[in-house]
Amino acid sequence: MLLEFTASQHFDFIGQFAELIKVPVRDNFLEIPQSLGEGYIRKVAFGDDFRLMIHRYTLTEDLVIKRNPAVEASDLLSIFFYTNEQPIELRYNNDNSIPFSQKNESAIQVTTIDLSSTIRFPANSHTQYMVVGITVSKLKALLSIDQPNSTIKTITTEGASFLFFESMDAEMQLLLKNIATVNMLDPLSHFYVQIKVQELLYLLFSQLSRRENTNYRSINSADAERLLLIRNNILSDLSTPPVLNELAHKAAMSETKLKQLFKQTFGDTIYNYYQRVRMEEAAFLLKQGKLSVSEVGYELGFTNLSHFSRLFEKHYGVTPKKYSTVG
């Protein structure tokens, strides 16, 4: 199933999706028919400049959502909150599919609508994500920051083109769960959801505000495609540390440009990002209980298990052995 559209400030996603699967939309609510699976899409509008789209469904066939870049100038931003427990794939232009992460698909993406993207949701997997659509002017008024760092300054500047990724903590995931389960028949539900979405934005921009101040480098769809390719390359083999000149060659960028754009987009250096994901993978494998601490260490390329234990404890505050036995 393919839903292709051209991004614009007034694009009616829920209406277009309803037309694709030939079901009606009632009170901004679309229920997935049993013939296609189960679940729903809900739109909650707080105004022309601020809205929320909630996606919660399991479909019997693959869903591909292809967004073409906006033709007309727009100050609308899209903020995606992915909380899937099943793999989803994202790509820019015609690049190979890029998983959001190895084992934890929770991620946040902040982007302008002038970048094209393709997202694939596999059949028979539970899809759960939310999209906040908000104009630059509305976001700037909500944040009301006198001296924003370079990341927030870029996001709140009209005419900028960007792609930022952030991790999602437990508090955000709980908020998303609360929003998804609100009884919208309650007369104050709309007000409640708006408060919770603003709280979600507060948590996100609190994280973004802690990013290092650096000069912003403009990004386009080709850059975004290459950055996601490099990210996928790093994630594909966590047992081998990334080699900068090899990655730069694959990205067709200079080492300086790749280092700057990667840190700008993902909020960390290539090597630090690799180590963090490596430790997240270690934590995941330890919790599965199928591998011993030494087996997990060797699986992730550690020949010195003492080094693995020290690094893990630095990230999580406990040794791998203790972590594997807690909870």
**Helices marked H in the chain:** 13-21, 136-143, 150-155, 170-180, 189-208, 221-236, 244-251, 255-266, 270-288, 293-299, 305-316, 320-325
Total length of the chain = 327
pLDDT tops 60 at residue 101: no
248, 255 Cβ separation under 8 angstroms: yes
Q: For the chain, list the domains and their CATH numbers.
A: 2-208 (2.60.120.280), 273-325 (1.10.10.60)
Please give the pLDDT value at position 86.
Answer: 41
The answer to whether 219 and 265 are in contact (CB under 8 A) is yes
The per-residue pLDDT for 106 is: 58
Strand order in the sheet with 37-47: 29-31, 37-47, 50-59, 126-135, 76-82, 107-112, 163-166
140-175: b or e for each residue (b if 16 or more CB lie within 10 Å)? beeeeeeebeebbebbbeeebbbbbbbbbeeebeeb
Find the angle CA(245)-CA(251)-CA(284) to the nearest 5 degrees: 85
Assess contact for 69 and 61: CB atoms under 8 A. no
- Can you tell me the distance from the alpha carbon of 121 to that of 89, in angstroms, rounded to the nearest whole number? 7
pLDDT of residue 31: 95
pLDDT band at 235 (very low <50, low <70, confident <90, very high): confident
Residue 84: band (very low, low, confident or very high) from pLDDT cuts 50, 70, 90: low
Residues contacting 25, CB < 8 A, separation 6+? 14, 15, 18
Radius of gyration of the chain (CA): 20
Burial (CB count <10 Å: 0-12, 13-18, 19+), residue 180: middle
> How do residues 244-283 score in pLDDT, each as one tens digit?
999 999 999 999 999 999 999 999 999 999 999 999 899 8
Q: Could you tell me if 72 and 121 are in contact, meaning their C-beta atoms sit under 8 angstroms apart?
A: no
42-81 pLDDT per residue, tens = 999 999 899 999 999 999 999 998 888 887 878 899 999 9
CA 243 to chain centroid, in Å, comes to 25
Instruction: Tell me the pLDDT tens digit for each residue of 287-326.
Output: 888 889 999 999 999 999 999 999 999 988 889 998 888 7
**Percent of the chain's residues with pLDDT above 90:** 54
- pLDDT value, residue 256: 94
Please report which confidence band the pLDDT of residue 327 belongs to, taking 50, 70 and 90 as the band edges: low
